[in-house]
C-alpha cells in the first residue's frame, strides 16, 4: 500500500524511505531503453486521452522506471506538454546511479526522484497519468497486482495507469490501461501497437503482454480465446490477396470486431497499427495458481 505522506514531511523524505525499500525488493535495476521506444504509445495517449492530459488545473504525469538514460521520459514530457504546457512531469527511478544520469541530462524539464511503486509524491501532487513501461517484466507475475494497486493509488479519479512492455526498439508494444474510479481501479482496456517493422501477426504481441497476462494467454483463458479469435480473423484476411501488413491488420481488426465485443474501430487508430480492446467486463484476469505464488 502507498503510504500517505504527511503534510509536514517533504515528498523527498518520504521517497528516500520508500525508495530504499523498493531498491531492496527490486529484482533488477538494469534493463534497456532507447530514444523513440515509447513514441507509438505516446501517440495513442495523445489521441485517446487528450482531454485528460489537457484539462485545466494542477496535473502531474509520473513516469516510473526511467531507465539507464531518461530518453523516453524526456520525449513523453515534451509530447504531453504540446497539449498541456503546465504539466508537471515526475520521473521515478529506483536506481540512484540512473537517477543521477537522468538529473544531469534532464535539467529542469523533468523532476526526477528516487522511488519505487509507492510513488514519491506529495499530498498536493495529483497524478493524472502514471506510466510504467518495461518495468514489471523483471518482476514475478504475482507482484503485478500489488504494483497496479500501488501505482493507481496516487491517481485522481479518471486518471490513468499505463503499464506494459514493448520490443527493444518499440515497434511492438502492449499495455494495460487501468482507470482510477471513485470505487477503485478498473482494468479498462488493453492496447496493442505496432509500426509493422516486424510485419504483422497477432502472435507478435504475445511476448509483449503486460507481466500479469503473459502466461494467461495460454490454453483455456479468456485471453487465449481473444488471441485465438484474432488469429482466426488474421488467417481469414491472409486468404485474400492482401499482403501489406497494415492492410492485413485493418481487415483483421474489422473481422475480430464482429465476434469480439469491445474492439474499438477508430480509423485513426487502426490505420496507425493500434488495436484497442475494451472488454465490456474489463480486461480479464485470473488468480495466479497457488504453485506459482
Ligand atoms: C527497462 S528500463 C525501462 C525504461 C523505459 N521506461 C523504457 O520503457 O524504455 C526499467 C527501469 O525500471 C527501473 N525500476 C525497476 N523497478 C523499479 C521500481 N519498483 N520503481 C522504479 N523504477 C524501477 C530499473 O532500474 C530500470 O531503470
Q: pLDDT tens, 229-283?
A: 999 999 999 999 999 999 999 999 999 999 999 999 999 999 999 999 999 999 9
Among 6-15, 17-26, 125-134, the range scoring the smallest mean pLDDT is 6-15
- Regarding the domain delimited by 14-194, which CATH topology (the fold level of the hierarchy) does it fall under? Rossmann fold (3.40.50)
Exposed e or buried b for every residue in 190-221, given b needs 16+ CB within 10 A? bbbbbbbeeebbbebbbebbbbbbbebbeeeb
What are the pLDDT digits (tens) for 89-103? 999 999 999 999 999
* Residue 224 neighbours by CB distance under 10 Å: 15
pTM here?
A: 0.90
* CATH 3.40.50.150 domain extents, the chain: 14-194
Three-state secondary-structure class, residue 274:
strand
- CA–CA dist 155, 152 (Å, integer): 5
pLDDT of residue 108: 87
Grade residue 2 by pLDDT with cuts at 50, 70 and 90. very low
Residues with a CB atom less than 6 Å from ligand 1: 22, 26, 29, 31-33, 37-38, 64-65, 67, 72, 92-95, 98, 116-117, 133-135
Whether the pLDDT of residue 134 is over 60: the answer is yes
Longest dimension (CA), the chain: 67
Q: Which among 21, 66, 69, 154 is the best mutation to test ligand 1's pocket, defined by most ligand atoms within 8 Å of the CB?
A: 66
What are the pLDDT digits (tens) for 46-60? 999 999 999 998 889
Q: How many CA atoms lie within 13 A of 151 on its CB side?
A: 32
Amino acid at each position: 500500500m502507498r503510504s500517505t505522506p504527511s503534510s509536514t514531511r517533504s515528498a523527498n523524505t518520504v521517497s528516500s524511505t520508500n525508495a530504499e525499500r523498493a531498491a531492496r525488493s527490486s529484482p533488477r535495476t538494469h534493463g534497456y531503453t532507447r530514444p523513440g521506444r515509447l513514441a507509438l504509445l505516446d501517440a495513442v495517449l495523445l489521441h485517446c486521452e487528450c482531454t485528460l492530459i489537457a484539462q485545466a488545473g494542477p496535473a502531474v504525469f509520473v513516469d516510473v522506471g526511467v531507465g539507464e538514460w531518461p530518453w523516453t521520459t524526456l520525449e513523453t514530457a515534451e509530447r504531453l506538454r504540446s497539449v498541456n504546457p503546465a504539466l508537471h512531469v515526475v520521473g521515478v527511478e529506483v536506481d540512484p546511479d540512473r537517477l543521477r544520469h537522468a538529473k544531469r541530462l534532464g535539467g529542469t524539464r523533468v523532476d526526477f526522484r528516487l522511488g519505487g511503486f509507492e510513488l514519491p509524491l506529495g499530498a498536493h501532487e495529483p497524478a493524472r497519468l502514471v506510466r510504467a513501461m518495461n518495468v514489471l517484466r523483471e518482476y514475478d507475475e504475482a507482484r503485478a497486482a500489488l504494483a497496479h494497486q500501488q501505482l493507481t493509488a496516487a491517481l485522481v479519479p479518471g486518471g490513468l495507469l499505463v503499464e506494459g512492455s514493448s520490443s527493444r526498439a518499440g515497434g511492438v508494444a502492449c499495455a494495460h490501461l487501468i482507470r482510477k474510479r471513485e470505487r477503485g481501479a478498473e482494468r479498462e482496456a488493453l492496447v496493442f501497437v505496432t509500426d509493422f517493422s516486424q510485419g504483422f501477426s497477432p502472435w507478435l504481441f504475445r511476448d509483449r503482454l503486460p507481466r500479469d497476462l503473459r502466461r494467461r494467454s495460454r490454453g483455456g483463458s479468456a485471453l487465449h480465446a481473444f488471441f485465438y479469435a484474432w488469429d482466426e480473423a488474421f488467417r481469414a484476411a491472409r486468404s485474400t490477396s492482401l499482403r501489406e501488413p497494415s492492410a492485413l491488420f485493418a481487415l483483421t481488426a474489422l473481422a475480430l470486431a464482429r465476434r469480439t465485443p469491445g474492439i474499438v474501430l477508430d480509423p485513426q487508430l487502426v490505420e496507425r497499427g493500434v488495436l484497442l480492446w475494451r472488454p465490456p467486463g474489463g480486461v480479464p484476469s485470473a488468480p495466479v495458481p497457488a504453485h506459482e505464488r
